[in-house]
Structure formats: C-alpha cells, structure tokens
Amino acid sequence: MSFKKMFGGAAGGVLGCLGALLGVGLLITVLAVACTSTSPDAPEIDLPRQTSAAPAPDTDADADPVADTYPNGDYVVGKDIPPGEYQTSGAQSGLFEYCDVQTDGNGPGGDGFGQWKNAGAPGERIIITLTEADGTLSINGCEPLEAR
C-alpha cells in the first residue's frame, strides 16, 4: 500500500514535508557536532593572542557633568547629566512633531518604574525632575533639555 493511499493526498504531502524538514534538521545537528568536537589526535594550533589597547584613564570620573543643554540621546543621571529639574520647549518642528522624555528607574535606589513624559507639538513644554534613582534618561524628538 502506498503512502498516499494510507494518509491521503494532502496529508501525505504535509507529512512528507515534515519528514524532509526533520531530516535536514538532523543533518545540521550532526554536522554541528562533528565540526565542534575535537579529536585527541588532532594537532594543536597555537594562534597569536589578540591584545587590546588599555583604555585611556578617565580624568574626569568624579567631576560633575555640566552642560547648558542636552539634545536627543541617552544620559545616565548623576554621570552624564546632574540630578535636578529640567525643561524642554517641546517637540522639534518637522514631519513627526512628537517629543518623548523618559527614564528607566534603574538607578541606585530606583524601583524600576521610570518616568515617561511626552509632547505632541512644538511649544508644548515638558518639565521633569531627575534623581540618580531615575537611572538612564532618554530624550527623543525634543528640543534640547535645559536646567530650570
């Protein structure tokens, strides 16, 4: 009795495709194991080690970050932007005119619940008070944030 007669035309085609997929998956697994396993008789190859350059010392690590304005981007509160009260004049003019200011709330002592404020038009001001507990501040589509 043929496979088609046992399982029907459509069912036979589906089962045939599944069998082919399982076969390909098994072949890939066997090849992956064969390529990653090492033989005790295989010669050792001594490759040159890559060394990375030492990072430049951070001379301003303890200095308070000070800037007049903070454009779109991500900032760590207490490192890239000092805690305090800030404002933006709203969305940048353009096609999408939407401003989003948010924090992740994952800073020291944070609860994981950040702040989220948005404006849908230029001139629609946003005011936000930042603490180190706010973690990372993200500014998207806004006029620059500035201290109040």
**Residue 76 — pLDDT band, cuts 50, 70, 90?**
very high
**Total number of domains constituting the chain:** 2
76 with 125, same domain: the answer is yes
**Are 141 and 76 in the same domain?**
yes
pLDDT in tens, 103-141: 999 999 999 999 999 999 999 999 999 999 999 999 999
Higher-confidence residue of 95 and 44: namely 95
Q: Are residues 7 and 74 in the same domain?
A: no
Please indicate, yes or no, whether residues 18 and 75 belong to a single structural domain of this protein.
Answer: no
Residue 142 pLDDT greater than 50, yes or no: yes
Residue 88 pLDDT greater than 50, yes or no: yes
- The torsion angles phi and psi of 137, rounded to 5 degrees, stand at -100, 130
End-to-end CA distance of the chain: give it in Å, rounded. Answer: 84
In a domain, 103, yes or no: yes
0.95 exceeded by pTM: no
Query: Do 82 and 127 belong to one domain?
Result: yes
At residue 60, the pLDDT reads 42
Q: Is residue 85 part of a domain?
A: yes
Distance from C-alpha of 75 to C-alpha of 98, rounded to nearest angstrom? 19
Q: Which is higher by pLDDT, 124 or 34?
A: 124
* 76 belongs to a structural domain: yes
Domain that holds residue 122: 69-147
Classify residue 30: in a domain, yes or no.
yes
42 within domain boundaries: no
Query: What are 57-72's pLDDT values in tens digits?
Result: 443 444 445 678 999 9
133 part of a folded domain: yes
| Confidence at residue 68, expressed as pLDDT on a 0 to 100 scale | 86
Asked whether residue 36 carries a pLDDT value surpassing 70, the answer given is no
**Would you say residue 132 lies in a domain?**
yes
